Amino acid sequence: MLKLLSWLTGHAPSRRPARRGLVAVWAAACLWLPAATLWGATFTATLDRSTMTLGETVTLSLTFTGGEPQTVPTPPASPNLRIDYVGPSSQVSIINGQVNSIVTHNFTVTPRQAGDFTIPALTAEVGRERLHTEPLSLKVLQPGAPPPEAVNSGSQLAFLRLVLPKKEIYFGELLVAELQLYLRSEVRNISQFHLPGLNAEGCNVGKLVQGNQRQARLGNSAYNVIPVMTTLKPVKTGSITVGPVTASVVVQIASQNRRRGIFGEDFPDWFPGFGGGEQKQLSLATEKEELQVLPLPTENVPAGFNGAVGSFTMAASAGPTNLTAGDPITLHVRISGRGALDSLALPDLGGWRDFKTYPPTTKVETTDPLGLQGTKTFEEVVVPQSADVKALPAISFSFFDPDQKSYRTLTQPPVALVVRPGAAAPTPTVVAANARAGQDAPPPTQDIVHIKPRLGMVAQIAPPLVQQPWFLALQAVPVVAWLSALLWRRRAELLANNPRLRRRRQVAQIVRQGLVELRQQATDKKSDEFFATLFRLLQEQLGERLDLPATAITEAVIEEHLRPRGVPEANLAALHELFQTCNLARYAPIKSSQELAAIIPKVEAVLRDLQGVKL
């Protein structure tokens, strides 16, 4: 080393050429070291374990040694694997004077179902190299419910139980299923509770609602029970399998290590500042349950039955009852009880021949978090057409009671009416005679054209057709026609493969024609037709934006669909105002042409705003 220092400081002039060569070699080695490190970069992908239980998560690590990638590769999306990026970590090692950097990008992998999965090979660019990893295999096992003897003895730290109140229900009946999470008293806290949902093929599953926590004792252990409830509505008959339900949870329990004070005393784990705890990730599962769905009886089915299943009561009222023919009557029908309130519908009032009926509006008010109990109110406007009407017909509602296992029909008696004759309509003016007289008038005779005594100015002969611009342009007509036919065919195929686009175009055409009809009806002072057309345009436009049938659109979509989707309040207020105007017009029709015409700009603005809102 001393000799090397003397060479570098110039104390041996006789060896200067050799000293210069050594300095050059040393400088080249320093410049080559980063390049060698970069050229030796590696890229590997690993899983912290290759076998897991459904409900757990594994860590996918992408490790880069000797360099960093230009962009971090992301594993491709999979319908049954959820992959979330956690973040990077890095470290630097120096071995024998060589600097080596390691950068690791971590992902969490959460499977949604049991089975064998493959994470494909990934590619990344590090410097000038293109590196690849090997595919990774992951085996996900179905978790099993603990045996009954282990549950009853209280040896389980946590477990999940599925409870069905009964094993036989009727088609269309709502059943409350309860998931019970049992946590032994040693569990101090829980986090990352992941419940994918209730697997019930052949049933419509409602929202999950957490119930009140309670305590239970199994064997020698005390448990805290957290219930989670949901509703099941079968959509087919026969045997249906509910579950198994899987979940994962991280529990915090008391640590096994005791902390000691300065005098050697033991502090309990729960003592503030001295206690400890450890976390455990658990995979939970329930046994599957068999549910038998019975068809509704085919005997003694009421004529007005439309599929309602549950237990209900009905009340009805109408007013005014003293009116003039052509005045509206508001009919209120309230159905209360337990069942699928959203799907309840009144029997068709098409048999009311002496009345003009309008589509009803509905409102549902529930009294429990699951929406099983409550009241559905129907409000419908009917108009007597003549003074011969003496009463509103009786109203009946039929449903199947699963508790009584029979059909029931609720009936409201007729409501007496006093209907006075309305004002006589003016007699239309007959103009057929004048029109006929005009048609019978003979056309005027033409005089004989006089022979021209002179030829007039002689015209110059035009150039040949091939030199005429219009003739050359005419040759392009077949090409333009072929291109037009091709574009038309492409457009027809696009509309055939895209029903949403086809419906959007149809609704746009309906709106344009409807606005023309509104202006004509406003000019003709046809109030009933005006508001009927206005309501139809709102139904068509909202149905197209929400992808719902137009006949299912009512004022309730503002709260049920538009507000949850973030539609601006100004648009909702304008739409609500139009619905209210349509409702008020049933009771107090607007007769003035100016008032009707003043509504059209508001309609155009609301429809234009709805077309621009992204839903």
Q: Is residue 383 part of a domain?
A: yes
In the prediction, which pLDDT does 11 show? 41
Burial degree of 423 (CB within 10 A; 0-12, 13-18, 19+): exposed
Mark whether 175 and 279 lie in a shared domain: yes
Q: Is residue 199 part of a domain?
A: yes
Contact by Cβ (8 Å): 593, 526: no
Residue 551's identity, in one-letter code, is T
Mark whether 396 and 503 lie in a shared domain: no
In the prediction, which pLDDT does 450 show? 58
Angle between helices 527-546 and 593-612 (to 10 degrees): 0
Mark whether 120 and 197 lie in a shared domain: no
Q: Is residue 251 part of a domain?
A: yes
Mark whether 208 and 237 lie in a shared domain: yes
DSSP for 240-287, please give it. EEE---EEEEEEEEE-SSPEE-TTSPEEPTTSTTT--EEEEEEEEE--
pTM for the model: 0.49
Backbone angles phi, psi at 410, to 5 degrees: -100, 135
Cα distance between residue 181 and residue 317, in whole Å: 47
DSSP for 36-74, please give it. HHHHT-EEEEEES-SEEEBTB-EEEEEEEESS--SS---
Residue 511's domain comprises 491-612
Mark whether 504 and 535 lie in a shared domain: yes
Mark whether 509 and 604 lie in a shared domain: yes
**What percent helix, strand, coil does the chain show, rounded to 5?**
30, 35, 35
Strands 136-141 and 51-53: parallel
Q: Is residue 400 part of a domain?
A: yes
Q: Is residue 475 part of a domain?
A: no
How many Cα atoms within 13 Å fall on the side-chain side of residue 356?
12
Task: Choose one of 135, 163, 190: the last residue of a domain.
Answer: 135
pLDDT per position as a tens digit, 73-86:
888 877 788 888 88
Give Cα 488 to chain centroid, integer Å: 33
pLDDT per position as a tens digit, 380-415:
898 988 888 888 888 888 999 999 889 999 988 888
Cα distance between residue 292 and residue 169, in whole Å: 6
Q: Is residue 380 part of a domain?
A: yes
Q: Which two tokens stand for residue 552?
A: 């299912």
Q: Is residue 240 part of a domain?
A: yes
In the prediction, which pLDDT does 1 show? 36
Mark whether 131 and 255 lie in a shared domain: no
Mark whether 288 and 158 lie in a shared domain: yes
Task: Choose one of 420, 438, 466: the last residue of a domain.
Answer: 420
Mark whether 322 and 339 lie in a shared domain: yes
In the prediction, which pLDDT does 427 show? 43
In the prediction, which pLDDT does 349 show? 66
In the prediction, which pLDDT does 584 show? 80
Contact by Cβ (8 Å): 609, 571: yes
In the prediction, which pLDDT does 431 show? 46
CA distances from 485 to 241, 478, 492, 496, 497 (A): 54, 10, 10, 16, 18
Cα distance between residue 158 and residue 245, in whole Å: 15
Task: Choose one of 294, 324, 357: the last residue of a domain.
Answer: 294
DSSP for 314-372, please give it. EEEEEE--EEETT--EEEEEEEEEEE-GGG--PPP-TT-TTEEE---EEEEEESSTTS-
In the prediction, which pLDDT does 460 show? 66
Low-confidence ranges of the chain (pLDDT < 50): 1-19, 21-39, 259-264, 267, 269-275, 425-438
Q: Which two tokens stand for residue 201?
A: 């093929």
In three state form, how does the secondary structure of 502-535 look?
Answer: HHHHHHHHHHHHHHHHHHHHHHCCCHHHHHHHHH
Mark whether 220 and 288 lie in a shared domain: yes
Residue 168's identity, in one-letter code, is E
With a CB cutoff of 8 Å and minimum separation 6, the contacts of 327 are 320, 383, 384
Mark whether 175 and 238 lie in a shared domain: yes
- The count of structural domains within the chain is 5
Q: Is residue 442 part of a domain?
A: no
Backbone angles phi, psi at 346, to 5 degrees: -80, 155
Mark whether 180 and 252 lie in a shared domain: yes
In the prediction, which pLDDT does 191 show? 80
The CATH number that applies at residue 283 is 2.60.40
**CA-based angle 175:177:178, to the nearest 5?**
150
